[in-house]
Structure 1
Amino acid sequence: MNTPPGHALVLEDLPDVAAWLARLLEQRFPGIQVVRAGTLAEARRQLEAGMSPDLALVDLGLPDGSGVDLIRQLAQHHPGCAIVVTTLFGDDAHLFPALRAGAQGYLLKDQPADRLGAALEGILRGEPPLSPAIAQRLLRAFNEAPRPAPPHELETLTAREREVLVLVSKGCRLPELAERLQISRHTVSDHLKNIYRKLNINSRAEAALEAVRLGLVAGT
């Protein structure tokens, strides 16, 4: 983004925080028009009504779902939009699915307002808007030497388990997995347990990284 954003969407369910983020945008980008939404459904209504944001600040934990779903929608239908996560969650389980869904930045809301504002301004200079703690986490993740995959490892997964692993790596949650695969949540849960056991992992974030390591999805 080389020009200041003219329209911004702030998806945040806490009114005080939403107002604070809106004020921050208005201070940093004079003349910007900010639309606030407190739920996924409300944000989607704004987009369906014709809003085309240049910048979107997206919280992840929302009353009616995950902000990752909106990130995916924005990345697909509004490719010119700079999508930045604004959250309190700095763990892998939130970070990597958001980035894989299409987020271009990841900012923690508990940092000082001036630092958060400076990170947003960096968008105009082509700098990835990342909180320092998130930048360090990414560096650690991608500097870790990957452990070699035994030749038989991929073969231990059934075709359905591979399918589940790919969807998990793209940020799909259990209800969405069940809907997409047309199977029960109980069956999805069984597949996930088998995947965790076979790959010796313990979290969705590790599952996402394993999908990349095994060549089932492209790395970020």
Structure 2
Amino acid sequence: MTVEPVAARLCLLIEDQPRTRDWMLVVLASAFPDLRIETAGTLKAAHAWLDRHGAGLWLAIIDIGLPDGSGVDIVRRLNRDHPQVLPVVATIYDDDAHLFEAIAAGARGYVLKDEEADLLVNYLRRIERGEPPLSPSIAHRMLSHFRAPAVVKDEAGLSPRETEVLTLLARGMTVSEAASRLSLQPQTVASYVKVIYQKLCVTSRAEATREAVRRGLA
């Protein structure tokens, strides 16, 4: 009797930063050794891939901040067209706006890319037990959202982590130095800097520092 080999489960990793993509590939391979992983670096490429292979997909790991749009569009498409797929957001954004937009779109998990690799592996393995992979800070944020009174937010919408990064930059630290202080990868801090510049509507460290001083952060 011939036993047909079991096909490997298929995952689509959507991430535009090469170093982060390589790091996430290692994390996914550690979490699911039998996983076959395909990658896409833009929203357009992800949609094109789904047009061809969406029916066979098991898991999608989705960055939100893509060069040509929001990864939430992919979450929404999977929830609508491929409900058998598990869409999990992997991002640096830890604010309520991004979190609840993704959850409302159909995300089945939400993890932060600045976690240690071993922790991310453990969070993702919860999928095998039918549990949603959530970074602890995200789980706490979800609970706090429903039990805490409304608070005044930063006028530019900076998250606590973004405020930390801005503070260190305003104190003269380089991206690498700030990453070391926060126990993060340099590319993660560089991504935060990009988001901070966008939110503050600035284009240079000098302008960002002035905004930090105005906020009393430096």
| TM-score interval, normalised by the smaller of the two chains | 0.5 to 0.7
1:40 partnered with 2:43: yes
1:162-196 deviation line (CA, Å, top 9, x unaligned):
xxxxxxxxxxxxxxxxxxxxxxxxxxxxxxxxxxx
1:76 partnered with 2:69: no
Write the distance in 1 (CA, Å) between the matches of 2:41 and 2:10: 17
Contact 1:86 1:109 in 2 (8 A): yes
Q: 1:21-60, aligned counterparts within 5 Å? A: 21-51=24-54, 52-60=56-64
What RMSD in Å do the two structures reach over aligned CA positions?
1.7
Q: 1:192-211, aligned counterparts within 5 Å? A: none
Shift of 1:92: 0.8
* Residue ranges of structure 1 left out of the alignment (5+ in a row): 147-220
Q: 1:123-202, aligned counterparts within 5 Å? A: 123-144=127-148
SS of alignment partner, residue 50 of structure 1? helix
Shift of 1:13: 0.5
SS of alignment partner, residue 115 of structure 2? coil
SS of alignment partner, residue 110 of structure 1? coil
1:15-68 deviation line (CA, Å, top 9, x unaligned):
111111112112221221100000010011111112432111000001000001
Write the distance in 2 (CA, Å) between the matches of 1:116 and 1:86: 10
1:110-145 deviation line (CA, Å, top 9, x unaligned):
010000000000011111111010000000112237
Write the distance in 2 (CA, Å) between the matches of 1:145 and 1:55: 35
Q: Quick one: which amino acid aligns to residue 29 of structure 2?
A: E
Write the distance in 2 (CA, Å) between the matches of 1:7 and 1:31: 9
1:15 partnered with 2:18: yes
TM-score if structure 2 supplies the norm length? 0.63
Q: Runs of 4 or more off by more than 6 Å in structure 1?
A: none
TM-score if structure 1 supplies the norm length? 0.62
Contact 1:107 1:130 in 2 (8 A): yes
1:67-115 deviation line (CA, Å, top 9, x unaligned):
0101000111111111110000000111000000000110000010000
SS of alignment partner, residue 128 of structure 1? coil
1:112 partnered with 2:126: no
Write the distance in 1 (CA, Å) between the matches of 2:61 and 2:105: 14
Shift of 1:5: 7.3
* Residue ranges of structure 2 left out of the alignment (5+ in a row): 1-6, 151-218
Q: Quick one: which amino acid aligns to residue 74 of structure 2?
A: L
* Equivalenced residues, count: 143
